[in-house]
Structure 1
Amino acid sequence: MAESVEKQVQDFVVGIDNIGARAIRVVAWLLASVVLFFITFSLMTSYPIRLAHPDAIDYAQIAKNVSRGQGVTTNFIRPVSLRYFPSFEKHPELTNPPLYSLYLGMILKMFNAPSIMKGEIDRKIIFYGSGIFFILSVPLMLILANMIVPKNIAHLSVLFYITNTLVLAESITALPTVFLTVLFLIMLIPLASYDGDNLLKPVMVGFFLGLCYLTRYSFGLFAIPLFIFFFFRARKFKFLHAMMFLLAFLAVISPWLVRNYRLTGNPFFTLEFLKYKMFTEPFPGNLAWRSSLDSIADKNFNFFFFLRKITMGVKEHYSAILSLMGTFLTPFVIVAYFMSGTKSRFDKIKWIILLLFAIQLCLSALFRPGANGILPFFPIFTIIGVSLFIDLLDLKRVNPFIRLGLVTIFIVLNITPVLFGWMPKLFDETMHRKPRLYWEDNIQNIAVGVLPGSVILSDIPWATAWYGDLKSVWLPWGVEDYEDINKRARDIDGAYFSPSVLRYPQSEDKIWIKLYSYLYRYNKVPENNRFGWTWSTVFKNGDVFLSKSAILKQE
């Protein structure tokens, strides 16, 4: 009896020691990720530090409305959305999923609204929008890796993840990609541990897949293969397991589906769907978003142009996959799926992961080509690739010194890109002082000088909506589109142009370029212009503003 008690105490102490050792390792990786994030933040962001990506600014201005209790509404209005909601007031967001904006809205609420006008909130959005989720993804990746591979492979995989150039670059964008990666990792944990008996795990997978859908719509299609996966993997009550997964998924997304149905008549409606037409010959540039005309909406888009769009997306993904996973890691990931003769530690989920990846690859090739569309899969593929590399060394029974040398070379080859990305910027300060994309001071000066509720056109409507809190319509394709907008909603009060308007597609109406060039050259509004705009100002950086005199505040 005494020996039994003594053994229990000993086992308890050993367990405490193991927990302490694991905690130390997790803390060490967290500290490493924090250091790498702040190095990237200090070297790779422009000065002054501001949001740079249009999509990040778009999410931020939606979040600002959320923080004010105005719901998921937008001040950045795409002309095509006026076909579904013909009003500028409390215009609903019909393009982006809501979850990331709701989260950012809570962040803005925490730090209060006044600092938004000064641009100081941009740094906080970068950190809390993507930086903190990069850090949180590290322990989640460790948990997942420890479930399917030995500890040494898990830690080596995390090293490759936190030193990946594109992952670090994404961590300072304030885009929802890293946020989505965290949700996807959480979803993979119960999926990887599902043994066919535990009914709670399909529910957990369904719940987090629903959150993924509310962050990126394309993840909603994962529900079909996962439903089949749970049906065949369950040992008993197969249909019950699959239905519990599906019901959890639908329970999470149903409020948003109801909202979309009430607004548009389609529960799965999103203007993102129009992206498959964009940047093609029938729909050059962003024409599908920048026109509200029936003739554009009903324009034919035949299979030939669809095939060309797919081809261009696949071509871009070919380089994106190599740049994301690295030239040296990618072959190990590919071979790991088809090589026989090695002991696979991820057989439970590797084929369902590959199927989900194939779905996302096809959809993002059509709608959102680029590395950020597939980045959520990078952690699990890193684990798979590193696992095969170590398995091959184990099979060959390599000499310990040679083994250490090979592992060292493998590490150096995979972290070299980030070192080459950092080194020049450490020695040349001007290299990371990029030119300012948006001059928020100009936008804010205009915003304080016009009456509340004024509506303007702009070639950078995301920036005028965020920094100036102005209702901003994306520059219509031409005069016919402009007049259609006035009929659907109301007359537009003015326009804010930046030099970026000169880079708009040459196939569109030249009226805006001519108007901008005249203003910049003569510093005055053309007389008797068709828009009724009579007042203007030209800024030193090339931005111009013109409007009706009626919207100007009287001093």
Structure 2
Amino acid sequence: MSNSSTQFDGSVIVRRIIYFVLLVSLTLIHLLVLFRGLGTEQAMDQAQLGRQVARGEGLTTKYIRPLEHHLAEVKAESALPFTGLRDTYHAPLNPLVLGAVFKLVGVDQDGSWEMGATELIYPLDRVVALVSTLFFLMSIGVTYLLVSRVFDGKIAGVTAVLMLLCSLFWSFSQSGLPQMLLLLLFTCGLYFTYRAVESQEEDRSSISQALIAAVFFSLMVLTHWITAWIFLGFLIFAAFAFRPRGIVALSSLAILAIFVAWPIVRMADATGEPFGVARFVFYNGLSNGSEAAVMRTQDLSQAPLGIDGLMMKILGTTLVQATDLIPFLGGIIAAPIFFISLLHPFKRTSIANFRWLILLMWFFAAIGMAIFGIDSSNPLHPNQVHILFAPIMAAYGLAFLSILWSRINSVSTQPMLKNVHYIAIVAFSAAPLLLTLPKEVRMYLNVSDKGGWPQWPPYFPNRLTLGIGNLVDKDERHPEIVVSDLPWAVAWYSDAHCIWLPNTKDEFFSLNDKANDVGTRFSGILITPNALVGSGSYERGDFAALALDGKIASVTGPSPNRPGRSLYDKIPALGEIYRRFPNRTPILGEQMIYYSEKRISDPNQNN
């Protein structure tokens, strides 16, 4: 081996060691230092579903949406208990994966993974985040293989660095949302699709690789229903790109039908609707974010779908996606350059054709997000799937910039300038992570003696697990039901059945009567800061005074010697609620209050 070759191999090994050390360091920092627990409704809901799977209960939920229970009763044509309710909101794959992991770590065993009295981060939150992080790290590896095959090892390496230093990827990894599993499946599907495109170019059979890609894309749909729009883009591409024309597309559609048949039959059997309550997610996009309102009702006429100006709403949401494309793509500035690269005539036919697949899939994904809703102010929106396209789009953007950069005369004469554009892109794209990381680490060090800090407000696992969790009777046959504005967190952290506080008092007492009839009585109402936030707030309507009670008490009682003035027993509109639940117990100051039948002398006595 020549000296130059030996030197080259040595530099490659050094770069890989540095990358590996950086990867391990960032993983440990995000999981052990910066992690604040799960912070989204969907992540907690899927986690509690996974725990039910691990216990052998199947995809049953302790987070009860009034609409889902109502549809189940209509289908059964009889009264149904609030226990054992089958979930028809989420795609099943991620909860099943979490269930398998929970089973392996012994979550199904009584007394396992209990939260300590001084802990602020729920231990199982880290397990969920670890699973998501492992999917992210595997996605980096598959992306490297894909980009190496499409372009070369250098562009693949830079793409891998961009992924590793992207703040949004790490945020999704910590969130517990299924996006990192989606990213892995999506990248695997792209890899086999590109192999099929290559085979087609070389006049070899492309059917087997294309169908393997269809399997991965079908698994992606089973992870998040909105990715069916991405699958549609793949079908259109397959219909025209692969010979014999139409065979691959029809076969792929058959594969998808096989994969989704069981979930659709299961949801139809549970609610009488082939898509269960998952179909009401489009209220977010088409009805100005009112999914929460429809999920809390038993009467759909009380939450009508506003379709006035339907096309303008879709167009408006699509334009929002266009204007905020760089943040949606994780701040990787090379990714949007993909759209400019569509104008470049790449010499290799496979590279040129493959980009049209990416464009088609992204286009239909954007339409799906416009219809089902996405919020640019929430970087971790559950419907945000732009992030899946960031790595492959960045690879095309890097390739296009490299071509332009190499054509500059000074670059061709100065070898030291050859990689400057890569360095600049990595520096700008990694800036959000690198600039905020030291500050976040210092913040952790300031509270490390307290075990970190949770996602408060509105989530405080310690109070939900050791406070509410110990106050509710969890008898397997006739458990007590908590009513709350934060039911997903109660179901996950308290491991108790919890129904979403409905829109009106009439619906509340209707549900209360149903619970009494089936032996699962309501134990109380838990109100958190979430009652005054977002589309699911209770600032107006029958429960407005209840939602404001704690806030007013905290304002009017700033010292221990002067208790705040509670509205609870003074507002005539709350009279029926007060008589039903006369005891008012602060669980976390005046910011989290439990209104119950039983008198609770000290909510911390069992901690």
Structure 1 segments unaligned to the other structure (5+ residues)? 1-9, 11-17
Of the three residues 180, 200, 204, the one matched with 2:208 is 200
> What is the deviation of 1:149?
0.3
Does 1:59 find its partner at 2:46?
yes
Once the two structures are superposed, residues 524-546 of structure 1 have per-residue CA deviations (whole angstroms, 9 ceiling, x without a partner) of 97399413123342234332212
For residues 332 and 323 of structure 2, the distance between their equivalents in structure 1, rounded to whole angstroms, comes to: 12
Q: How is 1:133-532 mapped onto 2 (pairs within 5 angstroms)?
A: 133-194=135-196, 195-196=199-200, 197-236=205-244, 238-267=245-274, 269-278=275-284, 284=290, 286-297=292-303, 299-304=304-309, 307-308=312-313, 311-312=316-317, 314-315=319-320, 318-322=323-327, 324-326=329-331, 328-340=333-345, 346-369=351-374, 370=376, 372-396=384-408, 398=411, 399=413, 400-428=415-443, 429-430=445-446, 433=453, 436-437=456-457, 438-443=459-464, 444-452=466-474, 453-486=479-512, 490=516, 492-503=522-533, 504-509=537-542, 510-513=544-547, 516=550, 521=564, 526=569, 529-531=575-577, 532=580
Instruction: For 2:249, give the aligned amino acid.
Output: A
Identity in percent: 20
Instruction: For 1:391, give the aligned amino acid.
Output: I
For residues 35 and 355 of structure 1, the distance between their equivalents in structure 2, rounded to whole angstroms, comes to: 37
> What is the deviation of 1:384?
0.9
Determine if contact 1:187/1:204 at 8 Å carries over to the other structure.
yes
Partner residue of 1:38?
A: 28
SS in 1 for 2:161: helix
Structure 2 segments unaligned to the other structure (5+ residues)? 2-7, 74-79, 116-121, 555-563
> What is the deviation of 1:214?
0.8
Distance change >3 Å, CA 178–CA 321, structure 1 → 2: same
Distance change >3 Å, CA 284–CA 244, structure 1 → 2: closer
Determine if contact 2:329/2:387 at 8 Å carries over to the other structure.
yes
> What is the deviation of 1:95?
1.1
For residues 278 and 347 of structure 2, the distance between their equivalents in structure 1, rounded to whole angstroms, comes to: 43
For residues 27 and 224 of structure 1, the distance between their equivalents in structure 2, rounded to whole angstroms, comes to: 40
Query: TM-score w.r.t. structure 2 length?
Result: 0.78
> What is the deviation of 1:180?
0.7
Partner residue of 1:4?
A: none
> What is the deviation of 1:285?
7.1
Distance change >3 Å, CA 115–CA 259, structure 1 → 2: same
For residues 23 and 142 of structure 1, the distance between their equivalents in structure 2, rounded to whole angstroms, comes to: 16
Distance change >3 Å, CA 273–CA 499, structure 1 → 2: same
For residues 317 and 115 of structure 1, the distance between their equivalents in structure 2, rounded to whole angstroms, comes to: 47
Distance change >3 Å, CA 65–CA 122, structure 1 → 2: same
For residues 553 and 480 of structure 2, the distance between their equivalents in structure 1, rounded to whole angstroms, comes to: 21
Does 1:124 find its partner at 2:127?
yes
Query: TM-score w.r.t. structure 1 length?
Result: 0.85
Instruction: For 1:98, give the aligned amino acid.
Output: P
Worse-superposed segment, 62-71 or 533-542:
533-542
Distance change >3 Å, CA 469–CA 457, structure 1 → 2: same
Distance change >3 Å, CA 25–CA 273, structure 1 → 2: farther
> What is the deviation of 1:53?
2.2
Instruction: For 1:56, give the aligned amino acid.
Output: A
Worse-superposed segment, 117-126 or 394-403:
394-403
Determine if contact 2:336/2:393 at 8 Å carries over to the other structure.
no
Equivalent pairs counted in the alignment come to 531
Instruction: For 1:374, give the aligned amino acid.
Output: H
Distance change >3 Å, CA 544–CA 170, structure 1 → 2: same
Distance change >3 Å, CA 306–CA 486, structure 1 → 2: farther
Q: What is the alpha-carbon root mean square deviation over aligned residues?
A: 3.5
Once the two structures are superposed, residues 367-416 of structure 1 have per-residue CA deviations (whole angstroms, 9 ceiling, x without a partner) of 24155321111111111111111122233462312323343333322222
Instruction: For 1:534, give the aligned amino acid.
Output: P
Worse-superposed segment, 189-198 or 98-107:
189-198
Distance change >3 Å, CA 144–CA 458, structure 1 → 2: same
Determine if contact 1:77/1:471 at 8 Å carries over to the other structure.
yes
> What is the deviation of 1:242?
2.8
Instruction: For 1:162, give the aligned amino acid.
Output: L
Worse-superposed segment, 63-72 or 436-445:
436-445
For residues 327 and 146 of structure 2, the distance between their equivalents in structure 1, rounded to whole angstroms, comes to: 23
> What is the deviation of 1:486?
3.6
> What is the deviation of 1:133?
1.0
Once the two structures are superposed, residues 49-105 of structure 1 have per-residue CA deviations (whole angstroms, 9 ceiling, x without a partner) of x22222211111111111111111111112221221234111111211111001111
Once the two structures are superposed, residues 331-363 of structure 1 have per-residue CA deviations (whole angstroms, 9 ceiling, x without a partner) of 522211123477676223211211110111121
